[in-house]
Amino acid sequence: MDQHSPARMEDVAQVAGVSAITVSRVIHHPDKVADATRERVLKAIETTGYVPNRVAGSLASNQTRIIGALVPTVTNSIFADTIDGLTDELGAQGYQLLLGATGYSLAEETRLINAILAQRPAGIVVTGLQHEPAAESLLRAAGIPVVETWNVDGQPIDMTVGFSNFNACHAMVERLVARGARCIGYVGAPTLANDRAAQRVAGYRAAVAKLGLEASDSLVFEGKFSFAAGAGRLRDLLATRPDVDAVFFGNDILALGALFECQRQGIRVPADLAIAGFDDVELAASVAPALTTVRIHRYEIGRQAARMILERLRGDTTTPDLTDLGFEIIERETTPAGRAD
């Protein structure tokens, strides 16, 4: 008892006067053990302070209850919601989350995929559809359910859950034009190693071109994920192109930073300049004027990704390989009001 290596199943078995396999049964198939025996074993587990060793169990059974997940960064509240969706669903089913942050680096992603796969997870969730070829083959060869999230525009490895960044931005530009915008600037996240951001600008460019508006590089900027960057890029844009009447931001943080900058500079929103964001963070609705944005279902992405993996593991073959959670244009006060329709 006082030996300082933790109790093993064998120790519990000895205390309960049974064999190890019976202890294993009490833990995994309690109904296959007689009531009296089960009680005795449970008591022995308690007195020995036994905590099952899943690494041994996983090796023997050749399966873990771990799901790997890779996000660019956790600090970006956007992915935090997805992670919460993941842990909520996974936790309820007795699975656990092995988390990695790539820092928007594809090379780091590959490295982390390798490290996670070494733990032989039951499934893995990654962000986006863009990966190094090495990462893709690693994922394919792993022989486990793989879910790519946050983007449905592309060739999935296995399963996908998310929405069309392209369509969402396209739709927002159309709405902006319907509300009177004629010269629309765009400020988005860096597109390097970020297919979601790339699809977003692409959607903007396509819509602008389709609607016969000016589609110039002088209208497009990139900014890091911060309020300060939103303010800075707005200043840059206004300096080059004072004729813009609307700016569409690739995420709400940039948009809100720009909105605050407008307030500081006395630019009236939306009278002088319309502003639209993307993500619909809580702040978007709480700020004054409230931000027009695109609502996406961040928490549900995580939740659904977990569900798809779990169903696949259960042998459920009816699960679709692609779940498009869609998006909604939320018009609030930073864009001109349209007639009720």
Q: Indicate the angle between helix axes 133-141 and 106-117, nearest 10 degrees.
A: 20
Quote the least distance from Cβ 151 to a copy of itself, whole Å.
Answer: 21
Q: Which is nearer to DNA, 61 or 216 (CB)?
A: 61
Q: Which is nearer to DNA, 18 or 254 (CB)?
A: 18
Torsion sign over Cα 278, 279, 285, 286: negative
Q: Which of 39, 43, 49, 53 binds DNA (CB under 7 A)?
A: 53
Q: Would you report the helix, strand and coil content of the chain in percent, each value rounded to 5?
A: 45, 15, 40
Decide: 231 and 195 in contact? Cβ < 8 Å: no
Nearest CA to 310 out of 125, 54, 93 is that of: 93
Which of a copy of itself, DNA, none does residue 27 bind (CB under 5 to 8 Å by kind)?
A: DNA
Decide: 94 and 88 in contact? Cβ < 8 Å: no
Which of a copy of itself, DNA, none does residue 119 bind (CB under 5 to 8 Å by kind)?
A: a copy of itself
Provide the residue type at 300 as one letter. Answer: E
Site membership for DNA, residue 46 (CB under 7 A) = no
Decide: 218 and 238 in contact? Cβ < 8 Å: no
Coil, strand or helix at 273: coil
Question: Is-cis flag, bond preceding 320, omega within 30?
Answer: no
Coil, strand or helix at 311: helix
Nearest CA to 1 out of 43, 44, 37, 39 is that of: 44
Q: Which of 14, 27, 174, 228 binds DNA (CB under 7 A)?
A: 27
Q: Which is nearer to DNA, 64 or 110 (CB)?
A: 64
Q: Which is nearer to a copy of itself, 48 or 167 (CB)?
A: 48
Site membership for DNA, residue 37 (CB under 7 A) = yes
Site membership for DNA, residue 61 (CB under 7 A) = yes
Total residues interacting with DNA, rule: CB under 7 A: 27
Site membership for DNA, residue 114 (CB under 7 A) = no
CB under 8 Å to 96, separation ≥6 — which residues? 65, 66, 67, 90
Decide: 256 and 283 in contact? Cβ < 8 Å: yes
Q: Which is nearer to a copy of itself, 46 or 324 (CB)?
A: 46
CB under 8 Å to 57, separation ≥6 — which residues? none
Q: Which of 1, 2, 4, 34 binds DNA (CB under 7 A)?
A: 34
Site membership for DNA, residue 115 (CB under 7 A) = no
Q: Which is nearer to DNA, 16 or 207 (CB)?
A: 16
**Can you give the binding site for a copy of itself, defined by CB under 8 A?**
4, 6, 49, 51-56, 58-59, 64, 66, 73-77, 80-81, 83-84, 87-88, 91, 94, 96-101, 112, 114-120, 137-138, 141-143, 226-228, 231, 256-257, 260, 263-264, 282-283, 286-288, 299
Which of a copy of itself, DNA, none does residue 133 bind (CB under 5 to 8 Å by kind)?
A: none
Decide: 162 and 308 in contact? Cβ < 8 Å: no
Which of a copy of itself, DNA, none does residue 192 bind (CB under 5 to 8 Å by kind)?
A: none
Quote the least distance from Cβ 302 to a copy of itself, whole Å.
Answer: 10
Site membership for DNA, residue 1 (CB under 7 A) = no
Nearest CA to 334 out of 241, 261, 259 is that of: 259
Nearest CA to 215 out of 248, 189, 257 is that of: 248
Q: Which is nearer to DNA, 111 or 179 (CB)?
A: 111
Site membership for DNA, residue 18 (CB under 7 A) = yes
Residues at the contact surface with DNA, assessed by CB under 7 A:
5, 8-10, 17-22, 24-25, 27-28, 32-34, 36-37, 52-53, 56-57, 59-62
